[in-house]
Amino acid sequence: MTFSMRSFKRKFIYIFFVIGYLISTQTSASSDTEGLRQLLQLTEYISVDYASAISNGKIIDQGEYQEMLDFSNIIAERAVREPGEQAMITLSKSLLCAIQAKKTLVEIQALTSELKNVLLKNSPQLSLPTSLLSVSRVKQLFQNNCASCHGVTGKGDGELARQLSPQPTNFNERTRALDRSILGLYDVVTGGLDGTAMPSFNHLTAKQRWSLAFYTGSLAFVFDEKRQENNALDLSLADLVQYSPNELYRAKTDLEKGFVEQLRANPEELFSATKAPLTIARDQLKKALAAYKNNDVKLAQQFAVSAYLDGFELIENNLDAYDSSLRKMIEFNLLGLRNEINNKEGSVDVAVSVSAVLLQIEQAEFLLNDSAISDTALFSASFIILLREGLEALLVVLVLFTILVRSNKKEAIKYLHFGWAAALIAGGLTWLVAQKLVTISGASRETMEGVAALLAAIVLFYVGFWMHSKTQADQWQRYVQQNINKSLKSGALWGISGLAFIAVYREVFETVLFYQSLLTQTNPSQQFVLFSGFGAAAAMLVVVAWLMIKYSIKLPIARFFSITTYLLLALSFILAGKAITALQEAAIISITRFPIDFHFAWLGINSTWQGITTQAFILFFSSALFFKPWLKKTSRVDE
């Protein structure tokens, strides 16, 4: 056996794999899972390095060949310990025999591919990434964590490379890259590599580790933008992650040669359906500017609207946990950009505005991707999302509930329950359809929410005025005796059900989207914190419901209707403001800025003339109701 640095490196790796294997035989079921992933690494290792040991049926490196034998022995022995997995046992023995017989590389790789399929089948379901860091961010991450050993371009020639034994991997070596999977790279980034200087980077978020794996797996390949491919739908993200390019070509003979390399060089196509919100915002802004320069103002406006509603809006809650002032600034500039586009002024001004927003989005992306969100910020964001989105709907349903109870029409409550329960189901189904079947744009979603909020505001405003006329106990009793039975029989029950449906449905779909976006910023270990925030908000909503029901039933009838009237009018005020804001965000209603900038999200107040005018109208008539009894009393005193 000839001595070489390469042989020395492999001997180190071999020793530590053997040690790891011996330790794993003594561990519990949780370690069995790690053992399967270790066997996956060993199997891929054989597939990648067998060519360095055997050529034309002859040993070209005795040390390499001995490692192939030892690794295949470990796999075969471990497979026997898997109950009921005959396929794993058979394939592992076949692989060992094939290596002993010095079979060709093609035969060995065919066996390793089959064995890998069985190992993946028996491993826990892999949690695949939903998005990657931007190219600029992952390059910076690589420079900060990897370049000192692997080199600036990943060729294994970093400043520390000569001091290391074995030397760092050259990710630009195409032949080996064709036999290396993204999953294998991810496992090494996550757990490190025993016997080498490669440490574990488990302190990075899963998104950062996946991004590094995809990046290092791309360095051996060059993306050709002119190349037209027709196989995009034939290859899933799971395929690209779990299998090497050569394994995919062997399994999918209809794949055009070079296609997998193109995806490895630029995997963005596989994430197109689940792009990160800020990536969507950035892409749509660039399209808006291009359309504007081509004098297509209408298309530019559509892209500008999409940049906010399909992109930035979905991470507003996340960004608030880091920098609320930056969130407000980006929101203000995105909405203001539409006015600039509509003004049809010079493209230079629009280009400057787009560049400014893109820079702010880059800052937001840095904050969100640089590290995982803290537990405190995550809990707070999760808590506020449900409390803010759920409180209005809850108050509407509770007011309707208490009105029915105080009217002695408890049999009508089932219609109310049907309304809000149907809204929860419909909201969930809408989200599911939007994910799987059709694309519901941000503009459509916001229009739906705006119209629903406006309709609810009108109904609540009307009911508030109607209830004010019944605040006297004798008036209410007379009305109940004369009209309530007739009203409840003439379709009002379904009206109550419909109002409950509208109040709840408008919140459900968007709430799910907000939590879905928040999940992308969390580590698996933080999911308990996220659900704790959700649970705490749900508990608070339950407490609010209990207090309202308990004390509203005990109130005198006149007092009850007086308080309920003002609560309904307050809800109408809030919903009207939010309706105008939603319709403005969807570009249904124009935006005219108020001279002074202010924003009170909980009250639905925004600094636009359209929103302020609408809410001022409700406030004026509500105030008239409030002061009307006082004016009458003053008039009698004067007489």
Assess whether pLDDT exceeds 70 at residue 205.
yes
Domains, the chain, in order of start with CATH, read: 5-122 (no CATH), 145-269 (no CATH), 277-370 (1.20.120), 375-410+426-485+503-629 (no CATH)
| Whole-number average pLDDT of the chain | 77
Tens digit of each residue's pLDDT (9 = 90 or more) over 217-233: 999 998 876 554 444 44
Tens digit of each residue's pLDDT (9 = 90 or more) over 86-126: 888 888 899 999 999 999 988 888 888 888 888 877 776 66
**Residue 141 pLDDT:** 93
Tens digit of each residue's pLDDT (9 = 90 or more) over 285-298: 988 888 888 887 88
Assess whether pLDDT exceeds 50 at residue 567.
yes
Any idea which of 3-12, 345-354, 556-565 has the lowest mean pLDDT? 3-12
Any idea which of 78-82, 326-330, 480-484 has the lowest mean pLDDT? 480-484
**618: Cβ contacts below 8 Å, ≥ 6 apart:** 457, 461, 569, 572, 573, 576
Cα distances from 624 to residues 471, 473, 495, 632, in angstroms, run: 15, 21, 27, 12
**Stretch 430-448: mean pLDDT:** 62
DSSP lists the bridge partners of residue 186 as: none
Assess whether pLDDT exceeds 60 at residue 275.
yes
Q: Tell which wins on pLDDT, 342 or 156.
A: 156
**Residue 481 pLDDT:** 46
Separation between Cα atoms, residue 139 and residue 150, nearest integer Å: 13
- Among 21-25, 104-108, 338-342, 469-473, the range with the most confident prediction by mean pLDDT is 104-108
**Residue 19 pLDDT:** 44
Residue among 498, 510, 489 nearest 422 (CA): 498
Q: Tell which wins on pLDDT, 135 or 468.
A: 135
3-class secondary structure per residue, 127-142? CCCCCCCCHHHHHHHH
For residues 25-41, one letter each, b for 16 or more C-beta atoms within 10 angstroms of the residue's C-beta and e for the rest, the string is eeeeeeeeeebbbbbbb
* Residue pair 163/93 in contact by the 8 Å Cβ criterion: no
pLDDT band at 16 (very low <50, low <70, confident <90, very high): very low
**Stretch 230-242: mean pLDDT:** 67
To the nearest 10°, report the CA torsion of 43, 44, 45, 50.
90
**Residue 147 pLDDT:** 92
Q: Tell which wins on pLDDT, 268 or 279.
A: 279
Residue 586: both structure tokens together = 């969807």
Q: Tell which wins on pLDDT, 26 or 282.
A: 282
**Residue 478 pLDDT:** 53
Q: What is the CA radius of gyration of the chain?
A: 32
Residue among 69, 71, 92 nearest 81 (CA): 92
| Phi and psi at residue 535, to the nearest 5° | -65, -40
**Residue 221 pLDDT:** 92
Assess whether pLDDT exceeds 80 at residue 568.
no
Assess whether pLDDT exceeds 80 at residue 356.
yes
**Residue 216 pLDDT:** 94
**Stretch 156-168: mean pLDDT:** 86
Separation between Cα atoms, residue 302 and residue 588, nearest integer Å: 11
Largest Cα–Cα distance in the chain?
A: 120
Separation between Cα atoms, residue 207 and residue 217, nearest integer Å: 15
Assess whether pLDDT exceeds 90 at residue 172.
yes
**Residue 423 pLDDT:** 85
Assess whether pLDDT exceeds 90 at residue 255.
no
> In percent, how much of the chain has pLDDT > 70?
75
Separation between Cα atoms, residue 324 and residue 509, nearest integer Å: 24
Q: Tell which wins on pLDDT, 608 or 381.
A: 608
Q: Tell which wins on pLDDT, 605 or 585.
A: 605
| Phi and psi at residue 54, to the nearest 5° | -130, 140
Separation between Cα atoms, residue 255 and residue 264, nearest integer Å: 14
- Token pair 């779909």 is at which residue? 509
Any idea which of 41-50, 211-220, 348-357, 627-636 has the lowest mean pLDDT? 627-636
Assess whether pLDDT exceeds 50 at residue 8.
no
Residue among 244, 214, 230 nearest 45 (CA): 244
Side chain identity at 341, as an amino acid letter? I
**Residue 375 pLDDT:** 76
- Among 267-271, 283-287, 504-508, the range with the most confident prediction by mean pLDDT is 283-287
The three-class DSSP label of residue 204 is: coil
**Residue 99 pLDDT:** 92
